[in-house]
Amino acid sequence: MHPAGNPHLTAALNLAAAGVPALPLREGKLPFGNCRTCAENACGGRPNMKRAGTCHCPSVCHAWAAATTDPSVITSPAWAAAWRQAAAVAYHPGGVALTVVDLDNADAIAWARATLPATRTVPTTRGEHWIYRGAMQSANAVRPGVDIKSRMAYARWLGPGTGTMTALPPAVLALVVKEETTPPPGQVVSSLPGRATWDRTVAIGCRHTEPYVRTGLDRGLALVRARTESGAASQAFGVARFLATQHAQCPGPCGLDALGWQIVAAAISVGVPETYAHRAVTNGLQTAESGAA
Ligand SMILES: [Zn+2]
Ligand SMILES: [Zn+2]
Ligand SMILES: [Zn+2]
């Protein structure tokens, strides 16, 4: 497909020429759905995904994992229909060793200005992207209105922005709780209450309806709360795994972290130690048949 007259395609080719993996987004700033062969992840997934598969599908499949720097792929017949319908362009920040701190609103921007070192910023519809040098694990809703987009994620391309890009600071790394991190005994995960709600704004890549997600979550929380301390952690693991599997075929993000925090809170409420609850839920989310984050 010829780039002339298609600004999204032109932007993607410019990104690719600069070494930045790009992909088209459809209406609603969401990735295009997988093709029939890749539906339900039947193909096994792309080699660059979390669970490396063998898929070499030429279509714009597997959300962020479709991002490429290869102009012959970007202009291929298999991508042409997507470009005709494209409503935006995205890039894969982790693929070019960058992290985007996605600030969704004025409050989030105010928090960043008070807390994070200055770097390159790009205005978005209601907020800003703060872009740092260095890649990290992605996570949604690490604070109200704040997402981290780096590895296994896409960010909307809205131009180069302004300001000098600086190195990923510890303050941003600390926003994402790592699976293997166990706080010392007695230390409280003080950010927990602020993260404890799921809503549609943290699930922009979710294919399910809000009632579907809420019903699944409420049933899961009830199962955890019905247990005594001894059984609740394994129940929390099972609920987390079940909920994450519900979203395995969504392009993501589905706000799974926010769902996870609510399961952690339910487990704590019946006496499971906080670090144990967090580990059980994190492991459950990551054990799911996955794709979505
Ligand atoms: Zn495919
Ligand atoms: Zn595939
Ligand atoms: Zn989903």
According to the model, what pLDDT value does residue 1 have? 56
Ligand closest to CA 40:
2
* Ligand 2 center from residue 258 Cα (angstroms): 28
44 and 58 in a single domain? The answer is: yes
Asked whether residue 265 is domain-assigned, the answer is yes
Asked whether residue 252 is domain-assigned, the answer is yes
Q: Which residues keep their CB under 5 angstroms from ion ligand 1?
A: 35, 38, 57, 59, 61
- Tell me the pLDDT band of 286, cut-offs 50, 70 and 90: confident
52 and 104 in a single domain? The answer is: no
Please give the share of the chain, as a percent, with pLDDT higher than 70.
89
Q: How many domains does the chain have?
A: 3
- Tell me the pLDDT band of 3, cut-offs 50, 70 and 90: low
* Ligand 3 center from residue 183 Cα (angstroms): 30
pLDDT in tens, 69-102: 999 999 999 999 999 999 999 999 999 999 999 9
Asked whether residue 293 is domain-assigned, the answer is no
* Ligand 2 center from residue 86 Cα (angstroms): 20
Buried/exposed code over 167-201 (b: 16+ C-beta within 10 A; e: otherwise) = ebbeebeebbbeeeeeeeeeeebeeeeebeebeee
Four-CA torsion 203, 47, 39, 207, nearest 10 degrees: 0
Q: Residue 151: which residues within 8 A CB-CB, separation 6 or more?
A: 94, 135, 136, 137, 138
* Ligand 2 center from residue 190 Cα (angstroms): 40
Cα(133)–Cα(153) distance, integer angstroms: 16
**H or E element that contains 261:** helix 256-269
pLDDT in tens, 140-162: 888 889 999 999 999 999 999 99
Ligand closest to CA 41:
2
* Ligand 3 center from residue 21 Cα (angstroms): 24
Ligand closest to CA 59:
1
Asked whether residue 292 is domain-assigned, the answer is no
Q: Residue 191: which residues within 8 A CB-CB, separation 6 or more?
A: 143
230 and 211 in a single domain? The answer is: yes
Ligand closest to CA 45:
2
Domain boundary among 66, 89, 112: 89
Asked whether residue 49 is domain-assigned, the answer is yes
Asked whether residue 182 is domain-assigned, the answer is no
* Ligand 1 center from residue 285 Cα (angstroms): 25
**Structural domain for 147, as ranges:** 94-173
Given a cut of 60, is residue 291 above it in pLDDT?
no
Domain boundary among 139, 173, 207: 173
* Ligand 2 center from residue 271 Cα (angstroms): 43
Q: Which residues keep their CB under 5 angstroms from ion ligand 3?
A: 206, 247, 250, 254
* Ligand 2 center from residue 61 Cα (angstroms): 6
* Ligand 3 center from residue 198 Cα (angstroms): 12
pLDDT in tens, 182-222: 444 444 443 344 445 677 777 888 888 888 898 899 899 98
84 and 99 in a single domain? The answer is: no
Give the global pTM: 0.61
Instruction: For the beta carbon of residue 41, count every other beta carbon within 10 angstroms.
Output: 21
Cα(109)–Cα(96) distance, integer angstroms: 24
Rg, the chain, Cα only: 19
Asked whether residue 184 is domain-assigned, the answer is no
Ligand closest to CA 43:
2
Ligand closest to CA 44:
2
136 and 84 in a single domain? The answer is: no
For residues 262 and 16, the answer to whether their CB atoms sit within 8 Å is: no
85 and 142 in a single domain? The answer is: no
196 and 169 in a single domain? The answer is: no
Asked whether residue 186 is domain-assigned, the answer is no
